[in-house]
Amino acid sequence: MTKIKSLADLKKMKSDLQSKISLREKSENPEGKVVIRVGMGTSGIASGAKEIMEFLMEETEKRNVDAIVTQTGDMGYSYAEPTVEVKLPDQDPVVFGDVDKKKADNIIEKYIKNGELLDGIIPQNYETIDKK
Amino acid sequence: MKDLSLHILDIVQNSIRAGARNVGIDIREDTRANTYGITIKDDGCGMDAEAVKRVTDPYFTSRTSRHVGLGIPLFLQNAQQTGGDLQIESVPGKGTRIKAVFVHDNIDRPPLGDMPGVLMMLIGSNPAIEFSYRHSKNGQEYLFDTREVKEALDGMSLEEYQVRKYLKEMIQENLQELNAL
C-alpha cells in the first residue's frame, strides 16, 4: 500500500476508503449495534485501558461484530480497572472489571456473540445504594 | 503513566468533561534549550482561581463519584522529576490551558509513546470535539487538525475504523520524519 503522508494523499485514498465502508454499511442498523465503552479515567489509563480499547476495536472489526467501541470517563470502579461496559441491543448494560486481553477476547466470543455471562461482572446495584 | 501520550490522554479527559468543543494539543521539543513542552488547551467551562490552586492536590477532584483525582498531580510529579514544571491557567466560562515542561534529555522524561493511537482514540470517541495537534521539533513542525481532515474527507465519519487506521498511519509517518531530525 502506498504511504499516506499528507491530506492530499488522504484525498486520493478516499474512494478506496468509501468502498470499504459502504461494504459494511449494508449490514448496519443502528439499533442492532453493540456498544462497548472503555473506562478511560486516570486509573483506567494507568491499568492499560488504551491497549484494551485498541484490542476491542481491532478484534470487533476483524470478527465482523457490528459494534461501536468508544471511551467513557471514569466509571468509579478504580479497584477493578480496566473496566469495560457492554450494551447488547435491547439489554441492560453490563460492566466487566479487570479486563485484560484474554477477558476482552471472551467478552467478544462468549458474551457478545453467545450471550453467555462471564466472571468479573460488576453488579449494577453497586453504585445505586447511595442514591436510594 | 508509562509515557507522555498516556498523560495527554488522561488530561484531555478533563477537557471533555469540561464540555470543550475545541481541544488543542501542542508539543514543542527544543533540543538546544533542552526542553520538552506539552500544552493542552481547551474551551471548556474553566475553573476559578481557587480550583486552579487545588487541582494539583491529589485529594481534589471535580468528580462526585470519588474523592481523589490523580491526573494532574501525576503529570506534575513526572515533570518535576525531570527538573521541569507544570502551570495551569484557567478562566471560568472560557477554558483552561495546562502547560508542562520536561527537561528533554533527563533520564526520567518518559518517551512520547503512541501519540497517533491516542489521538485517534480521542478523535474517534468524541466526534463533536475538534482536535488540533501540533508537534514541533527545533522549529520543524507537523500540524494535524480534525477540521482540515474532515474537509479533505468530505463528510466521511472519523469514527469509522478504516478512516481511523489511515489517519493513524498518516500521523505516524509524519512524526517519524520529525523524529529523525
Summarised one tens digit per residue, pLDDT across range B119-134 is 999 998 998 999 999 9
Q: Which of A62-76, B19-33, B52-66, B161-175 has the highest mean pLDDT?
A: B19-33
In the prediction, which pLDDT does A132 show? Answer: 43
Averaged pLDDT of chain B: 90
Name chain A contacts of B125, Cβ cutoff 8 Å: 40, 70-71
The set of cell numbers assigned to B119 is 489521538
pLDDT at A88 over 80: yes
pLDDT at B143 over 70: yes
Cβ pair B3, B112 in contact under 8 A:
yes
Q: Looking at the domain assignment, is residue A105 inside a domain?
A: yes
CA–CA distance from A21 to each of A33, A46, A128 (Å)? 16, 33, 40
Instruction: Name which of A3, A45, A129, A130 to mutate to probe chain B: the one with the most chain B Cβ atoms within 10 A of its Cβ.
Output: A45
- Cα separation, A77 vs A96, in Å, equals 10
How many CA within 13 A on the CB side of residue B72? 25
Q: Percent of chain B beyond pLDDT 90?
A: 70
Nearest C-alpha in B relative to A44: B10
Q: Percent of chain B beyond pLDDT 70?
A: 95
CATH code for the domain in which residue A93 is found = 3.40.30.10
Q: Looking at the domain assignment, is residue A48 inside a domain?
A: yes
Provide the 8-state DSSP code for B116: H
Q: How many domains does chain A have?
A: 1
B74·A13 Cβ contact <8 A: no
Could you report the predicted ipTM of this complex, rounded to two decimals?
Answer: 0.83
The residue that leads in pLDDT, B134 or A22, is: B134
A18·B156 Cβ contact <8 A: yes
Q: Looking at the domain assignment, is residue A8 inside a domain?
A: no
Q: Looking at the domain assignment, is residue A4 inside a domain?
A: no
Q: C-alpha angle B59/B61/B62, rounded to 5°?
A: 155
Compare CB distances from A46 to B1, B114, B173 and report the shortest one's residue.
B1
Name chain A contacts of B162, Cβ cutoff 8 Å: 17, 20-21
A6·B170 Cβ contact <8 A: yes
The residue that leads in pLDDT, B139 or A21, is: B139
Task: For residue B11, count CB atoms less than 10 angstroms from its CB and return exposed for 0-12, middle for 13-18, buried for 19 or more.
Answer: buried
Name chain A contacts of B149, Cβ cutoff 8 Å: 7, 10
Cβ pair B44, B15 in contact under 8 A:
yes
B66·A61 Cβ contact <8 A: no
Name chain A contacts of B1, Cβ cutoff 8 Å: 45-46
pLDDT at A82 over 90: yes
Averaged pLDDT of chain A: 84
In the prediction, which pLDDT does B126 show? Answer: 92
- Residue span of the structural domain in which A58 resides: 31-124
Instruction: Name which of B65, B143, B146, B151 to mutate to probe chain A: the one with the most chain A Cβ atoms within 10 A of its Cβ.
Output: B65
The residue that leads in pLDDT, A86 or A18, is: A86
pLDDT at A128 over 70: no
Question: What would the mean pLDDT of B171-179 be, rounded to a whole number?
Answer: 92
- pLDDT confidence of A7, banded at 50, 70, 90? confident
pLDDT at B44 over 90: yes
Q: Where are the alpha helices (DSSP H) in A1-132?
A: 7-12, 14-25, 42-46, 49-62, 101-106, 113-114
Task: For residue B102, count CB atoms less than 10 angstroms from its CB and return exposed for 0-12, middle for 13-18, buried for 19 or more.
Answer: buried
Name chain B contacts of A4, Cβ cutoff 8 Å: 166, 169-170, 173
pLDDT at A126 over 60: no
Domain B4-179 has CATH 3.30.565.10: yes
Task: Map grid coordinates 485529594 to a residue.
Answer: B59
Q: Looking at the domain assignment, is residue A26 inside a domain?
A: no
Q: Looking at the domain assignment, is residue A6 inside a domain?
A: no
What tens digit of pLDDT does each residue of B50-103 get? 888 888 877 766 665 555 578 899 999 999 999 999 999 999 999 999 999 999
- Cα separation, B71 vs B138, in Å, equals 29
Q: Percent of chain A beyond pLDDT 70?
A: 84
Question: Residue A112, SS3?
Answer: helix
Give a three-class secondary structure readout of B31-43.
CCCCEEEEEEEEC
Nearest to B114 by CA among B14, B8, B43: B8
What are the φ/ψ torsions at residue B19 (nearest 5 degrees)?
75, 25
- pLDDT confidence of B32, banded at 50, 70, 90? very high
* Single-letter amino acid, residue B107: I
B13·A61 Cβ contact <8 A: no
Exposed e or buried b per residue across B108-146, where buried means at least 16 C-beta atoms within 10 angstroms of its C-beta: ebbebbbbbbbbbbbbbbbeebbbbbebbbeeeebebeb
Compare CB distances from B166 to A13, A43, A76 and report the shortest one's residue.
A13
Q: Tell me the sheet residues that pair with A96.
A: A84, A121
Q: Which residues of A touch B (CB under 8 A)?
A: 3-11, 13-14, 17-18, 20-21, 40-43, 45-46, 50, 53-54, 57, 61, 68, 70-71, 73-76, 78, 127
